[in-house]
Amino acid sequence: MLQALRTRKRLSILFLLSLLAVSIYVASTYLIIGPGLPPAEIMEEWYLPGGAGYNEADLSLFPAISEYSASSRYSNSTIICVWYFEKKSSFLEGENNLSEYLKESGQVEILEINITNELDEVINSRGKNWQPTNGPRVFDATKYEGTETSGYFIVYETPFLETSENYFITYYGTKDTTNFTGKKNDLLYLMARSYYLGEGNVTSLDFENNEDRKNSPLPSLIDLIGWYYCPIAT
C-alpha cells in the first residue's frame, strides 16, 4: 500500500512537471512578447537616422537573416543595415547564420568601441536637454572587413523593456573598403546618431557561445522529470 501511494505521488509530480514544461515551451515559442511596441514593419527602421534614402539593395551584402530588415545609405559609400527580431529564438538563429557567413567571407574581430565624443557632438547639435540613451558609451562591437564592405556590427538586446522580446542587429559600414580606416570617425558618428538603449544590453555578435545561449529551461525540466520517473521504473 505504501509503495502504491509513493508511485501515485511520483506520477502526480511527473504530470505537473510535464504540464509545466509544455506550458513554458508554448509560451516561449508561440507568444509574441512586447505589448505596446509598434509593428515589426516599423521597428525594423528604428535605428535608421533620418536624412537618408532607403536602399534595400545594400541588405544583399549579407544573408537574409530576418523577414524584418531595412537599410539606408548616408553617402555614396556609407550605409546602415538593420535586422529586427521579435523572438529570442529567431534572433539567435539569425545571429548564428550571420556570424558563420562573416567568418567565411572576411575577417572578424571583437573590439571595444567608444562613442563618447560622437554622442556629445550629437547632443550638442540637437540641444543640451536632449539625451539619446541611458546606455553605455563604451561597449563591444564586431569589426568586419570583407571584399564588398567593411564596418561594425552591434547587437541591441531588449533595448526597450527587458521583459519583452525585441532584438536588433545593426551594421554601420562603408562600401569603400580601400579606405576603411579613414571612414572610422564617420561610422562612429553615424553610430552615435542612431544609438538608443533604454534597458537591456548593447554588445557584439556572439561568435563563441551561440550554442550555449540557445539553451532553454526545458532540458533541465526534462532531466528533473527523468529523476522522478526512473525510480518508478525500478
- pLDDT single digits (tens) 116-133: 999 989 888 887 666 656
Domain coverage including residue 159: 40-203
pLDDT tens per residue across span 95-114: 999 999 999 999 999 999 99
129 and 50 belong to one structural domain: yes
79 and 178 belong to one structural domain: yes
Answer whether residue 16 shows pLDDT above 60: no
pLDDT value of position 31: 39
51 and 93 belong to one structural domain: yes
Reported confidence tier of residue 79, pLDDT bands at 50, 70, 90: very high
**Is 72 part of a structural domain of the chain?**
yes
Reported confidence tier of residue 203, pLDDT bands at 50, 70, 90: very high
**Is 212 part of a structural domain of the chain?**
no
CA–CA separation, 47 and 83 (whole Å): 10
130 and 70 belong to one structural domain: yes
Average pLDDT over residues 55-60: 89
75 and 53 belong to one structural domain: yes
pLDDT value of position 189: 95
Decide: helix, strand or coil at residue 56: helix
**Is 180 part of a structural domain of the chain?**
yes
CA–CA separation, 21 and 226 (whole Å): 13
Number of domains in the chain: 2
The reported pTM is: 0.74
Mean pLDDT of the chain: 79
74 and 14 belong to one structural domain: no
Q: What are phi and psi of 208, to 5 degrees?
A: -100, -30
99 and 196 belong to one structural domain: yes
25 and 56 belong to one structural domain: no
CA–CA separation, 180 and 143 (whole Å): 11
23 and 87 belong to one structural domain: no
pLDDT value of position 107: 96
Long-range contacts of 30-39 (CB under 8 A, 24+ apart): 32/86, 32/87, 32/165, 33/163, 33/164, 33/165, 34/86, 34/160, 34/161, 34/164, 34/165, 34/166, 35/164, 37/160, 37/164, 37/166
Closest CA to 216 of 82, 22, 41, 78: 22
pLDDT value of position 10: 54
Q: What percent of the chain has pLDDT over 90?
A: 53
Residue 1's Cβ-count burial label (10 Å; 0-12, 13-18, 19+) is exposed
Residue 150's Cβ-count burial label (10 Å; 0-12, 13-18, 19+) is buried
pLDDT value of position 209: 60
CA–CA separation, 54 and 43 (whole Å): 15
**Is 209 part of a structural domain of the chain?**
no
Answer whether residue 142 shows pLDDT above 80: yes
Residues in the chain: 234
Average pLDDT over residues 25-33: 38
CA–CA separation, 151 and 153 (whole Å): 7
**Is 208 part of a structural domain of the chain?**
no
Q: For 26-40, 176-190, 201-215, which range has the lowest pLDDT when averaged over its residues?
A: 26-40
List b or e across 89-111, with b for residues whose CB sees 16 or more CB atoms inside 10 angstroms. ebbbbbbbbbbeebeebbebeee
49 and 77 belong to one structural domain: yes
- Indicate the Cα dihedral angle 35, 41, 42, 44, nearest 10°: 100
Answer whether residue 33 shows pLDDT above 50: no
pLDDT tens per residue across span 143-188: 999 999 999 999 999 998 878 889 999 999 999 999 999 999 999 9
75 and 118 belong to one structural domain: yes
**Is 210 part of a structural domain of the chain?**
no
CA–CA separation, 92 and 97 (whole Å): 9
8 and 57 belong to one structural domain: no
Answer whether residue 216 shows pLDDT above 70: no
